[in-house]
Amino acid sequence: MIRKNTTGLALVAGLALTALVSACSTPTAPTQLAASESLQCKTADAPESVALAASFYEDASAWRSYMTSAAAINPKDFKDGKAIAASLKIGASVEPKQLLRGAIAYSAIIALQDQTFINGARGFANGPAQRQVLIGELKANPYRVTNMPGAERAAAAIMAALGEEGDKVLKAGNAVKQSAYDVQKQPWSKEFVADREGRLATVRQLSTTPLKGDMEDVVRLQEASLSPSDSPGTLQNASFSGTVTWSPVVVRGLALAALAALGEAGEENTEQVASLLTDEPSMFCLKMSKLMLYQCLAAAKPHYEDMFCIGQHELMDIGECTLKSVGIPKVIKAAPKVEIAESGTTPTPTVAKASGSPK
């Protein structure tokens, strides 16, 4: 569940200590972590430190929490206007900039589970001078990472993980959109939304309010990034067997992971790596989804039109933006028809159709 206004990562740092100690083999492993410190680990096999700022874990967790909550929106739960309003708030509760940061940060965490990729990044830094050159190149041109050993396999893992989440949200949206047509036989669905201006203002506010993920999930992400192996990571259930596409989000996630493997993505480096946490085309896609949502809600009047806005612009658009950002073409079959039980006998009002909404 997505939570807002949570406290800092003091609790998270304490909970993550167990994972950190188990991942480090040196006797000098820290016994306490400040909330502002990035997690670092040295082992006999890895002379470099893995350093990733706490804020990246937070954004990654917020992204994952939002995608999970959005994918769980089910038109079978739409029994009245209140249920639709609640889902509208869930789908709107994401700020585009943070959503993109979270997707890239999560991509980096996926890559950090791959020991081959980590070794490849470190192998390119042969000596202090070359290390500094590599760090500068990654910050200036993240596509430098595509030449590293293990980069293609890590990229495939990112595409699988983000593609799976994007596909779930896209399919959920398709089901909700279809139900916006099917539900019109229910009298309650044709009732006008109360306080339409107020609900639009609420959606706008939710769309500009940063989120924080569940702190226990932050710990899981930290543990995963500190436990690399030569087998598939623990954060994904899907595999990707297609051609790897070096899309901006994939490449930037890999570059951030490479810098983390070199110890250059910790708290003291957040400003230097900030340029990796955004991408103009991906941001445009997410911002357009919000703009279209606002326009849809401004025109929508009955509840079934709000359902259309949720399905198309809160869910399908976000799912499509996610798939596009990692280079996966949109492939979706029509959702199965969702039958919604008959309820109520409210008279049907004369409905003014919203532009672009179901007729």
Q: pLDDT class for 120, splitting at 50, 70, 90?
A: very high
Number of Cβ within 10 Å of residue 305's Cβ equals 27
Summarised one tens digit per residue, pLDDT across range 241-295 is: 678 889 999 999 999 999 999 999 999 999 999 999 999 999 999 999 999 999 9
Cβ-Cβ contacts under 8 Å for 220 (sequence gap 6 or more):
none
| Assigned token pair, 79 | 């029994």
Ranked by mean pLDDT, which of 67-81, 207-221, 237-251 comes out on top?
67-81
SS3 223: helix
DSSP secondary structure letters along 258-275: HHHHTT-BSGGGTTTTGG
| Assigned token pair, 333 | 């079959």
Its pTM stands at 0.80
Q: Which amino acid is at 342?
A: E
- Pairwise CA distance, residues 28 & 219, whole Å: 21
- Pairwise CA distance, residues 207 & 342, whole Å: 33
Q: Which amino acid is at 347?
A: P
Rounded to the nearest 10 degrees, the angle between the axes of helix 151-182 and helix 115-123 is 130
pLDDT of residue 228 exceeding 60: yes
DSSP secondary structure letters along 19-30: HHHHH--STT--
